[in-house]
């Protein structure tokens, strides 16, 4: 984004909690939501004499994430200590990686420019580290409480290149990243539960200048839209500052979401000297090429590839595919329905309409959704072959969600099977013509546009069971 005189330059640091059963360096549970300090042991409490032991699953998930982001996974990476004092950092240092990270040099596509060129954001590096505990300042007046359940939980930090040029692109990058990580199934990527956190580095410069301006670091954004608003706000602040002849000072800022402003942080970070050095309690992490290849082979289809395939396999519009692939679970559900029913268009309409609405209403996930893809496909087939009407189909679906019974059984139990018997339909037509003499007379006199109204009356009378096609034909023959 430019305000004419300035261009926004943003790089994002995204911390993602890996979905492991246990912590990065000890056997404690990594689950969210336990009572304070329950998930702790000598290692994550930093008791004297305790030593870290690396969680193999964390390495696997981190490698998977790095490969999914197009990075090169380094055969040798080194854990390092990042030293600083804070009460929720029990060892007085965080085990992280510094000059030899797990992976480097990836990128993600976040969309296209107006002239169709792909917009890619570079990934500088992906490294492994452990989380700190949590300081709770507002629970006990005059005191700070410490919860170390999170201490030692495995994270990856994904550092982007300063390739982002607008708040909207930052949002697009984050949504893309989140989607890829969901597809890779390496994290819950929930900002609410703290399993995804974003820090932003932002500077301004005149368009065309290649040298980077002095950056500030903005923290404490609790949603993607907060990131976008914080970037807009900080961009405006820096631009105004430079405009008035001032200079941007390198500092850490906190986003105040209520007042919609950034304010300087209370010092914890600042221009800290972290005194990094290689962690002597852990050996260098050696990953052999064969192992990396195995992890690569196990990578699932990523959103980009899936979108392209869905467009070509099911002849859907790019926009439709975009919607379907937002969540990997929805995309997989759709695909199963489409394959079972053989009708991609109807599958798309039902999944994006009825299924999404039902999931939203229940608050549950696709995995636990009662109507399995095969069941929905059966319903679609019943509608398509005219066994039940579309209207009845929706009622059947509602009952399927409630009861989990198959569509055909519900349709039969509730008498929703479409009636194709001309004698019965003709009876309904006669009744309607008798009950609405004025409309009947005008229609029979040649006022063709009244046919739709009369069909509606018949459908209502039949409770949706009459085959609309036959109703139309019978009415037309009366008007003959």
Partner 1 sequence: MNLDDYSLLRAAEIAVGVRAGQVSADAVVKASFDRACDIGAGSDNLNIVLAAADEAGRAECESLTEKRNSGKDLGLLAGVPVVIKDNIASLGLPTTCGSKILEGYVSPFEATVVTRLRSHGAIVVAKTNMDEFAMGSSTENSAFGPTRNPVDVRCVPGGSSGGSAAAVAAGITPIALGSETGGSVRQPAAFCGVVGVKPTYGRVSRYGLVAFASSLDQIGVLGRTVDDAALGLEVIAGFDRLDSTSSDADVPIYRMSALGVPAPEARNPDTELLRIGRSAVPLPPPPDSKTLEGVVIGKPKEYFPDSLDASVRDVCERSLEKFREMGAVVRDISLARSPLAIPVYYIIAPAEASSNLARFDGVRYGLRVDSPLGLKGMYEETRSRGFGAEVTRRILLGTYVLSAGYYDAYYKKAQAVRRLIAEDFTAAFSSGVNAIFTPTTPTPAFHIGAISDPYEMYLNDIFTVTANLAGVPAMSVPIGRVRRLPVGGQIICAHFDEYTMFRVAYALEAALGAEAHQ
Residue 45 or 241 with smaller CB distance to partner 1: 45
Shortest distance in whole angstroms from residue 133 CB to partner 1: 10
Residue 137 or 449 with smaller CB distance to partner 1: 137
Q: Judged by CB under 8 A, does residue 412 bind partner 1?
A: no
Characterise 286 by phi-psi region: left (phi > 0), alpha (psi -120 to 50), beta (else).
beta
Residue 11 or 90 with smaller CB distance to partner 1: 90
**Rounded distance, CA 298 to CA 8, Å?**
38
With tokens 């007085």, the residue in question is 92
Residue 26 or 292 with smaller CB distance to partner 1: 26
How many residues touch partner 1 under the rule CB under 8 A: the total is: 28
Shortest distance in whole angstroms from residue 142 CB to partner 1: 11
Residues counted in the chain: 480
For the CA atoms of the chain, what is the radius of gyration? 30
- To the nearest 10 degrees (0 to 180), the angle between helices 451-461 and 468-479 is 130
Among 5, 263, 283, 345, interactor with partner 1 by CB under 8 A: 283
Among 5, 247, 275, 469, interactor with partner 1 by CB under 8 A: 275
Residues 6+ away with beta carbon under 8 Å from 297: none
Shortest distance in whole angstroms from residue 33 CB to partner 1: 22
**Rounded distance, CA 138 to CA 449, Å?**
69
Residues 174 and 227 sit within 8 Å (Cβ to Cβ): yes
Shortest distance in whole angstroms from residue 44 CB to partner 1: 11
* Burial annotation 50-74 (CB, 10 A radius, 16+ → b, else e): bebebbeebbbbbbbbbbbbbbebb
Residue 282 or 417 with smaller CB distance to partner 1: 282
Residue 91 or 178 with smaller CB distance to partner 1: 91
- The footprint of partner 1 on residues 33-92 (CB under 8 A) is 42, 45-54, 81, 83, 85, 87, 90-92
Shortest distance in whole angstroms from residue 265 CB to partner 1: 15
Residues 454 and 419 sit within 8 Å (Cβ to Cβ): no
Residue 91 or 307 with smaller CB distance to partner 1: 91
> Which segment (104-112, 216-224, 271-279, 310-318) binds partner 1 by CB under 8 A?
271-279
Per-residue binder mask for partner 1 (CB under 8 A), 90-109, x = binder: xxxx----------------
Residue 54 or 352 with smaller CB distance to partner 1: 54
Characterise 112 by phi-psi region: left (phi > 0), alpha (psi -120 to 50), beta (else).
beta
With tokens 């631009």, the residue in question is 239
> Which segment (202-210, 279-287, 315-323, 416-424) binds partner 1 by CB under 8 A?
279-287
Residue 10 or 26 with smaller CB distance to partner 1: 26
Among 109, 119, 136, 146, interactor with partner 1 by CB under 8 A: 146
Shortest distance in whole angstroms from residue 277 CB to partner 1: 6
Q: Could you please report the per-residue DSSP string of 181-209?
A: HHHHT-----TTTTSEEEEEEEEEE-TT-
DSSP state of 450: G
Among 193, 243, 270, 277, interactor with partner 1 by CB under 8 A: 277
**Rounded distance, CA 146 to CA 142, Å?**
13
Q: Judged by CB under 8 A, does residue 353 bind partner 1?
A: no
Cα first-last separation, the chain: 67
State the residues that interact with partner 1 by CB under 8 A: 42, 45-54, 81, 83, 85, 87, 90-93, 146, 273, 275-277, 280-283
């Amino acid at each position: 984004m430019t305000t004419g005189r300035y261009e926004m330059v943003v790089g994002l640091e995204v911390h993602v909690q890996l979905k492991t059963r246990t912590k990065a360096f000890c056997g404690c549970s990594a689950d969210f939501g336990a009572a304070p300090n329950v998930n702790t042991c000598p290692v994550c409490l930093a008791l004297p004499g305790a030593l870290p032991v690396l969680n193999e699953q964390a390495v696997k998930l981190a490698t998977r994430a790095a490969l999914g982001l197009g990075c090169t996974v380094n055969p040798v990476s080194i854990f390092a200590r990042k030293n600083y004092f804070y009460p929720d950092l029990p060892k007085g240092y965080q085990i992280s990686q510094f000059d030899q990270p797990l992976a480097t040099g990836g990128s993600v596509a976040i969309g296209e420019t107006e002239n169709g060129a792909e917009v890619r954001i570079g990934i500088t590096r992906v490294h492994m580290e452990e989380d700190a505990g949590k300081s709770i300042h507002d629970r006990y007046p005059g005191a700070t409480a410490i919860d170390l359940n999170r201490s030692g939980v495995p994270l990856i930090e994904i550092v982007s290149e300063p390739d982002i040029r607008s708040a909207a692109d930052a949002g697009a990058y984050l949504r893309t990243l989140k989607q890829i990580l969901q597809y890779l199934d390496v994290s819950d990527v929930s900002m609410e539960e703290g399993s995804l956190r974003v820090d932003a580095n932002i500077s301004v410069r005149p368009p065309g200048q290649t040298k980077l301006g002095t950056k500030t670091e903005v923290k404490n954004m609790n949603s993607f839209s907060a990131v976008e608003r914080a970037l807009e706000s900080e961009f405006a602040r820096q631009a105004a500052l430079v405009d008035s002849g001032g200079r941007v000072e390198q500092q850490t800022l906190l986003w105040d979401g209520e007042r919609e402003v950034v304010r300087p942080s209370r010092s914890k970070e600042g221009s800290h000297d972290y005194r990094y050095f290689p962690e002597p309690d852990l050996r260098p992490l050696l990953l052999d090429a064969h192992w990396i290849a195995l992890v690569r082979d196990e990578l699932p289809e990523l959103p980009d590839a899936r979108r392209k395939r869905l467009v070509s396999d099911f002849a859907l519009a790019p926009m439709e595919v975009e919607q379907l692939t937002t969540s990997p679970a929805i995309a997989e559900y759709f695909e199963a329905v489409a394959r079972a029913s053989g009708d991609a268009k109807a599958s798309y309409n039902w999944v994006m309409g009825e299924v999404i609405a039902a999931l939203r209403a229940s608050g549950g996930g696709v995995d636990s959704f009662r109507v399995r893809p095969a069941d929905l496909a059966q319903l679609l087939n019943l509608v398509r072959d005219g066994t039940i009407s579309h209207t009845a189909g929706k009622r059947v679906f509602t009952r399927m969600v409630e009861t989990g019974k198959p569509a055909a059984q519900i349709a039969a139990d509730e008498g929703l099977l479409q009636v194709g018997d001309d004698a019965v339909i003709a009876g309904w037509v006669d009744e309607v013509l008798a009950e609405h003499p004025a409309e009947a007379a005008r229609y029979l006199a040649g006022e063709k546009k009244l046919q739709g109204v009369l069909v509606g009356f018949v459908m209502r009378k039949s409770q949706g069971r009459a085959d609309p096609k036959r109703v139309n034909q019978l009415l037309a023959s009366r008007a003959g």
